[in-house]
Amino acid sequence: MDQDSRCTAERELLEAVSRITTFSTTSSADEEQNQPKAEISCQVRKENSEKDDLQDSNASLSPNSSMTTKELQEYWKNEKRQCRQVKLLFEIPSTRIVEHRLSKYVMYKIIILQTGSFDSNKSVIERRYSDFEKLHRNLLEEFSEEMEDVTFPKKTLTGNFTEEIINERKLAFKDYLRLLYSMKYIRRSKKFIDFLTRLELQEAYGCLRGGHYTKALEILLEVIGLQERLTRGNPVSIVPTLCAIVVCHKDLENPASAFEYGEKALSRLRVHTSHRYYIPLLETMITLAYELGKDFLSLQEKLEEWKAKKDPIRVFTLKELAVREYVQ
């Protein structure tokens, strides 16, 4: 392609993106004008809780004049992916009774599936009644209006371990999760996402701190797919998990895999260079690139550019940051 053709292609892509952005903004404004006052009031009340997520998403996807044709094409793909809502289905196919010396409870196996996908995209977690109860209590504190008509299965004094009660709760919890996920503000909330991921992440980081990198990596790779689907509007939020995967691969002497996940993390921090993981990740990526015989000079330039703009401060290594996550 000659220089004129390339310039024309870049200009057309920029114009297309600009038209879409303008249309999206105009449409949103029109929708707000047509909303009933009660809905607008509810929306205003919730805007602050999502402000940071929206800023992260918009900042990481905004086109600019310095983009190459390839970068604009990648932007367009990301924009289309952001516009498509990922729909998840919740199934509770089985349970198991756990007995300890002083306690006994039922664990509910939850399978989370992405609609239109095969089993390779499913996530499997286990939660007990008390986990659901804590989620419900937390959501009532923040989303009292939205939770007004949401019913929660009550505890019973006896019969909690009978087949009848367990089967009733399986169906009730399945409907409960489906209903919560259908409400936009709740499915995007940290409390809902934590319910689905936090226990596994705590276990993974505990393994990482103990030097059990293979087990930690196994859990992190299970969680990252679910995190990506749950936090699509806020891609920066999964950077710590991606970096923990980098640390595990690096310590297991898998530099190629470590570099692959490091690139994914860096792409999410492209316009977030003040993020606490940015410099430690850059330093690790330079080491990995040198080891793999890849171009490390461009990464080194980014590091020097950052150091020239910022005052020298103590920066933790990537591993030091990772082991500090989810410390009780």
- Residues 218, 176, single domain; the answer is no
In a domain, 82, yes or no: no
Token pair belonging to 316: 């933790």
According to the model, what pLDDT value does residue 26 have?
42
Residue found by looking up tokens 């449409």 in the block:
27
d(CA 196, CA 275): 25
Q: How many CB atoms lie within 10 A of CB 244?
A: 30
Q: Residue 143's domain is classified under what CATH number? A: 3.30.1520.10
- Residues 116, 169, single domain; the answer is yes
According to the model, what pLDDT value does residue 60 have?
41
- Residues 183, 277, single domain; the answer is no
Contact 79, 233 (CB under 8 A): no
- Residues 158, 204, single domain; the answer is no
Q: Which residues pair with 99 in a beta bridge?
A: 104
d(CA 219, CA 25): 40
- Residues 204, 286, single domain; the answer is yes
Q: Which residues of 309-323 are buried (b: 16+ CB within 10 A; e: fewer)?
A: eeeeeebeebbebbb
Closest CA to 187 of 85, 108, 113: 85
- Residues 298, 320, single domain; the answer is yes
Domain that holds residue 313: 199-324
- Residues 183, 243, single domain; the answer is no
- Residues 182, 236, single domain; the answer is no
Q: Which residues pair with 111 in a beta bridge?
A: 91, 124
Among candidate residues 188, 209, 224, the one where a domain is terminated: 188
In a domain, 152, yes or no: yes
In a domain, 154, yes or no: yes
- Total domains in the fold of the chain: 2
Closest CA to 7 of 64, 68, 71, 77: 68
Closest CA to 222 of 127, 111, 323: 111
Contact 177, 152 (CB under 8 A): no
In a domain, 307, yes or no: yes
- Residues 215, 163, single domain; the answer is no
Residue found by looking up tokens 């319910």 in the block:
195
According to the model, what pLDDT value does residue 157 have?
72
Q: What are phi and psi of 210, to 5 degrees?
A: -85, 0
Tell me the CA distances in angstroms from 42 to 18, 27, 69, 144, 275, one per residue in order.
Answer: 30, 19, 41, 11, 31
Token pair belonging to 275: 């993020």
In a domain, 73, yes or no: no
In a domain, 80, yes or no: no
Among candidate residues 161, 188, 215, the one where a domain is terminated: 188
Token pair belonging to 67: 């983009």
- Residues 317, 206, single domain; the answer is yes
Contact 239, 276 (CB under 8 A): no
Q: Residue 203's domain is classified under what CATH number? A: 1.25.40.10
- Residues 124, 152, single domain; the answer is yes
- Residues 209, 276, single domain; the answer is yes
Per-residue pLDDT of the chain (328 residues; tens, 9 = 90+): 554 554 554 555 445 445 444 434 444 444 444 444 333 334 444 444 444 444 444 444 445 545 566 655 665 555 555 445 568 999 999 999 999 888 899 999 999 998 875 656 789 999 999 999 999 999 999 999 999 989 998 888 777 889 999 999 999 999 999 999 999 999 999 999 999 999 999 999 999 999 999 999 999 999 999 999 999 888 999 999 999 999 999 999 999 999 999 999 999 999 899 999 999 999 999 999 999 999 999 999 999 988 888 766 677 999 999 999 998 6
According to the model, what pLDDT value does residue 42 have?
42
In a domain, 149, yes or no: yes
In a domain, 312, yes or no: yes
According to the model, what pLDDT value does residue 78 have?
57
